[in-house]
Structure 1
Amino acid sequence: MMALEGPILAAIIARSPEEKVNLAAYGIALAFGLILESPIIMIMAAATALIKDNISYKMLRNFTMILNFSITLLFLVLLLPQVFNYIAGTLIGLKDPVYSLTFNSIMFLLPWPGAIGYRRLYQGVLIVSEKTRYIAYSTVIRLLSNISTALLLFFLFPIKGAYIGTIALSTGVVVEAIAVRFLANNSVKQLIQTYNKEKLTYSFIAKYYYPLALTPFIALSSQPIVTFFLGKSLKALESLAVMPVVYSLAFIFRSLGLSYQEVIIALTSKYPGDFKKIKNFALYLAITTTLLLFIITWTPFSKFYFKILSGLTDELANFAKYPAMIMSIMPALTVLLTFQRSSLILMKSTLPITIGTIIEVSAIIFVISTLISLKIFVGAICAAFAFVLGRLLANFYFFLVFLLIKKKSQNLDSPKSPY
Structure 2
Amino acid sequence: MDSTSRLRNILAFWLPLAAAWLMMGAEGPYLSAIVARLDRPVENLAAFGLSFSLAWLVESPIIMLLSATTALARDRASFLALRRFAYLLNGALTALLVLLALPPVFRFLAEQVLGLPAEVARMANLATALLAPWPAAIGYRRFHQGLLVRNGLTRRVAYGTVLRLATMSLAAAGLALGTRLPGACIGALALSSGVVAEAAASRWMARHVVRDLLDPGRESGPAPSLGELARYYYPLALTSIIAMSNAPLLTFFLGRGRDPLQCLAAWPVVHSFVFFFRSGGSAFQEVGVALTGTEGRNEAQVRRAAALLAACATGLMLAVVLTPLGALWFRRVVGLGPGLLPFALLPARLLILLPAMEYLLSFQRSRWILAGRTSVISTATALETAVLVLGMTLFALVLDWRGTLAAALALTVGRAAACGYLLRKAADRPE
Cα RMSD for the two superposed structures: 3.0
CA distance in 1: counterparts of 2:220 and 2:202, whole angstroms: 25
SS in 2 for 1:400: helix
Structure 1 letter corresponding to 2:320:
I
Does 2:62 correspond to 1:35?
Answer: no
Distance 1:208 1:369, change over 3 A: same
Match of 1:400 among 397, 406, 424: 424
Structure 1 letter corresponding to 2:371:
M
Residue 185 of structure 1: how far off its partner (Å): 0.8
TM-score (norm 2): 0.83
8 Å contact from structure 1 (residues 344, 350) kept in 2: yes
Counterpart position of 1:54: 76
Counterpart position of 1:111: 133
Distance 1:76 1:298, change over 3 A: farther
Match of 2:308 among 284, 292, 296: 284
Counterpart position of 1:225: 249
8 Å contact from structure 2 (residues 78, 222) kept in 1: no
Residue 52 of structure 1: how far off its partner (Å): 1.2
Match of 1:201 among 225, 230, 242: 225
CA distance in 2: counterparts of 1:326 and 1:71, whole angstroms: 37
CA distance in 1: counterparts of 2:345 and 2:43, whole angstroms: 19
CA distance in 1: counterparts of 2:51 and 2:314, whole angstroms: 28
CA distance in 2: counterparts of 1:97 and 1:298, whole angstroms: 44
Distance 1:33 1:311, change over 3 A: farther
Structure 1 letter corresponding to 2:234:
Y
CA distance in 2: counterparts of 1:241 and 1:25, whole angstroms: 17
Larger deviation: 166-175 or 367-376? 367-376
8 Å contact from structure 1 (residues 39, 214) kept in 2: yes
Stretches of structure 2 lacking an aligned partner (at least 5 in a row): 1-22
Does 2:389 correspond to 1:343?
Answer: no
CA distance in 1: counterparts of 2:264 and 2:103, whole angstroms: 23
Distance 1:6 1:33, change over 3 A: same
Match of 1:353 among 374, 377, 393: 377
Residue 313 of structure 1: how far off its partner (Å): 5.6
- CA deviation map 1:93-126 (0-9, x unaligned): 5456765555444344332221110100000111
Does 2:267 correspond to 1:267?
Answer: no
Distance 1:296 1:113, change over 3 A: farther
CA distance in 1: counterparts of 2:48 and 2:213, whole angstroms: 40
Counterpart position of 1:384: 408
8 Å contact from structure 1 (residues 229, 372) kept in 2: yes
- CA deviation map 1:149-205 (0-9, x unaligned): 445556666666555544433322121111111111111101101332343222211
Correspondence 1:235-250 to 2 at 5 A: 235-250=259-274
SS in 1 for 2:220: coil
SS in 2 for 1:328: coil
Tell me how many residue pairs correspond in the alignment: 407
CA distance in 2: counterparts of 1:316 and 1:26, whole angstroms: 24
Counterpart position of 1:368: 392
8 Å contact from structure 2 (residues 257, 403) kept in 1: yes
Identical amino acids, percent of aligned pairs = 38
Stretches of structure 1 lacking an aligned partner (at least 5 in a row): 410-416
Counterpart position of 2:145: 123
Residue 328 of structure 1: how far off its partner (Å): 3.3
